């Protein structure tokens, strides 16, 4: 039986969260932006208007989540007063706890960059076809995760490998808190399986690296000296036939001070690909600044676990047993097929709940 004491405990969790969230302040900010969006000259500066609408959408998302928690607590209290049957009370109690946990999880995504869209690059490790095939499996996993979570996904650059797999891919995930959700996926992903490319059916270990960074928008000011950039153009790879790109529309940018290299073949327009490459460069430079700040913070505060960029983070074992295990949180799944089909939220949540506010 759900008691008044349990209701008070739920209310306390909500109120403790509100100390961090400050929902009243968010409501005031949302009201001010709502009024601004209704002014007659709002769309005179489209970029600024889009930025305001994005901020408003994020604020409304916070308000909606908090309102959901409060409503669930009130409904549960009413059901207790009406002496509802135990099964219904239990159902609403679980629903209320779920809404509080969702809000607690959302509170892990409080950094400025967390609300931004994300760019992900995937590259195979050493091992030829084995690792190239694994990199393509990783690409498919994240695309399926993005589809399940209602993100808009663009393929900015894809280099297919022969006879199977990919040499590299760059994906963009557009939507609320895309980077916040994906930032913990940085690192090396290890696969153990019976190779479909080995006629002797031997077990193979393959590696692929994942790098995620926030997509800088117009609210982020990054100054780039044009003399620091060199450009190459090339034909984008394609399937051949009428669909093949016959012009050198794909671009390769190199930023000399950092050594960052970016390839983009998203559009058939070389100018559009160059503009996107510059945006991706700004995004990586922004990510470098975030990393420097975090490293300084870690030096001052220490951390429970050192997370090195590019280190091995997760094992996917298909043989001799079935298991996916995150080496940072020890979160596990005995259903690797589901994970490879995009069921990643439990891994993402366990990482963010442990390291999200470092």
In this prediction, residue 307 carries a pLDDT of 32
In this prediction, residue 305 carries a pLDDT of 37
In this prediction, residue 303 carries a pLDDT of 39
**314 strand-pairing partners:** 189, 326
In this prediction, residue 223 carries a pLDDT of 85
Phi-psi region of 210 (alpha: psi -120 to 50; beta: other; left: phi over 0): beta
Q: Name residues of the chain where pLDDT drops below 70.
A: 218-220, 237-247, 293-294, 296-311, 356-358
In three state form, how does the secondary structure of the chain look? CCCHHHHHHHHHHHHHHHHHHCHHHHHHHHHHHHHHHCCCCHHHCHHHHHHHHHHHHHHHHHHHHHHHHHHHHHHHHHHHHCCCCHHHHHHHHHHHHHHHHHHHHHCCCCCHHHHCCEEEEEEECCCCHHHHHHHHHHHHHHHHHHHHCCCEEEEEEEEECCCCCEEEEEEEEECCCHHHHHHHHCEEEEEEEECCCCCCCCEEEEEEEEEEEECCCCCCCCCCCHHHEEEEEECCCCCCHHHCCCCCCEEEEEECCCCEEEEECCCCCHHHHHHHHHHHHHHHHHHHHHHHHHHHHHHHHCCCCCCCCCCEEEEEECCCCCEEEECCCCCEECCHHHHHCCCCHHHHHHHHHHHCCC
In this prediction, residue 251 carries a pLDDT of 94
In this prediction, residue 176 carries a pLDDT of 83
Backbone angles phi, psi at 40, to 5 degrees: -65, -30
């Amino acid at each position: 039986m759900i008691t008044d004491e349990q209701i008070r405990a739920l209310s306390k969790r909500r109120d403790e969260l509100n100390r961090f969230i400050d929902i009243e302040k968010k409501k005031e900010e949302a009201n001010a932006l709502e009024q601004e969006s209704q002014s007659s000259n709002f769309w005179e500066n489209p970029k600024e208007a889009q930025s305001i609408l994005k901020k408003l959408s994020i604020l409304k998302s916070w308000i909606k989540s908090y309102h959901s928690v409060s409503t669930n607590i009130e409904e549960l209290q009413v059901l207790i007063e009406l002496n509802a049957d135990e099964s219904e009370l239990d159902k609403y109690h679980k629903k209320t706890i779920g809404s509080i946990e969702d809000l607690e999880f959302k509170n892990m995504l409080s950094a400025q960059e967390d609300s931004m869209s994300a760019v992900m690059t995937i590259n195979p490790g050493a091992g030829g076809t084995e690792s190239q095939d694994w990199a393509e499996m990783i690409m498919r996993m994240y695309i399926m995760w993005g589809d399940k979570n209602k993100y808009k996904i663009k393929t900015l650059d894809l280099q297919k490998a022969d006879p199977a797999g990919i040499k590299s891919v760059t994906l963009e995930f557009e939507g609320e808190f895309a980077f916040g959700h994906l930032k913990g996926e940085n690192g090396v992903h290890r696969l153990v399986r019976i190779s479909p490319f080995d006629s002797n059916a031997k077990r193979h270990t393959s590696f692929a690296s994942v790098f995620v960074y926030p997509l800088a928008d117009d609210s982020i000011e990054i100054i780039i000296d044009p003399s620091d950039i060199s450009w190459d153009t090339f034909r984008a790879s394609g399937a051949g036939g009428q669909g093949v790109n016959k012009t050198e529309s794909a671009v390769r940018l190199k930023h000399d001070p950092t050594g960052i290299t970016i390839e983009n073949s998203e559009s058939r327009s070389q100018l559009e690909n160059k503009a996107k490459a510059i945006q991706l460069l700004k995004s990586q430079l922004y990510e470098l600044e975030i990393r420097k700040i975090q490293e300084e913070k870690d030096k001052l505060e220490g951390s429970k676990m050192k997370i090195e960029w590019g280190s091995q983070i997760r094992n996917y074992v298909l043989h001799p047993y079935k298991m996916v295990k995150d080496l940072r949180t020890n979160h596990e799944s005995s259903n690797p097929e589901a994970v490879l089909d995009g069921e990643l939220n439990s891994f993402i949540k366990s990482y963010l709940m442990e390291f999200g506010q470092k």
